[in-house]
């Protein structure tokens, strides 16, 4: 799926620090924990808790955040629709990575089992 340049630029310039509290609120409202959220983020990005904290304190943009990440090789197994886009069809790599994260947060909030979220065999 083709997203617009304006859409991709807006996502790239958003800070992870501005979205992270929204992710926490979303999962906690559904009975999940910040620790589970951090586990999901770590699986996708390779960041440990200190690296996440540093990126939040530095107000890293999603562009900077994902440039520093080591994307899990199984991330391509993340499929489905998020924000009206089918994640596996998004052509812009950064936008796709952000939507992967959004999809994982949604799955966590919906009560999916952690081994399914983390694409374990």
**Could you tell me the maximum CA-CA distance found in the chain, to the nearest angstrom?**
38
SS3 63: helix
Give pLDDT, residue 4: 83
Residue 6, Cβ density class (10 Å: 0-12 exposed, 13-18 middle, ≥19 buried): exposed
Give me the DSSP letters along 65-115.
HHHH----GGGGG--SEETTEEGGG--SHHHHHHHHHHHHHHHHHTT--HH
Q: CA nearest 101: which of 16, 35, 32, 7? A: 16
Give pLDDT, residue 120: 79
Enter the tokens of residue 31. 């009975």
User: How do the pLDDT tens digits run along the chain, 121 residues long?
Assistant: 566 888 889 999 999 999 999 999 999 999 999 999 999 999 999 999 999 999 999 999 999 999 999 999 999 999 999 988 899 999 999 999 999 999 999 999 999 999 999 997 5
- Domains of the chain in start order, with CATH, are 5-117 (1.10.8.290)
Give pLDDT, residue 94: 96
Give pLDDT, residue 121: 54
Start-to-end C-alpha separation, the chain: 28
Give pLDDT, residue 2: 62
């Amino acid at each position: 799926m083709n997203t617009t340049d304006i859409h991709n630029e807006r996502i790239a310039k958003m800070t992870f620090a501005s979205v992270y509290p929204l992710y926490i609120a979303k999962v906690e409202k559904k009975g999940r924990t910040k620790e589970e959220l951090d586990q999901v983020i770590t699986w996708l990005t390779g960041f440990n808790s200190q690296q996440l904290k540093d990126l939040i304190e530095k107000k890293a943009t999603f562009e900077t955040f994902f440039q520093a990440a080591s994307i899990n090789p199984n991330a391509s197994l993340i499929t489905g629709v998020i924000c009206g886009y089918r994640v596996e069809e998004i052509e812009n790599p950064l936008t796709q990575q952000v939507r992967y994260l959004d999809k994982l947060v949604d799955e966590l909030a919906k009560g999916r089992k952690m081994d399914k979220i983390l694409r374990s065999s």
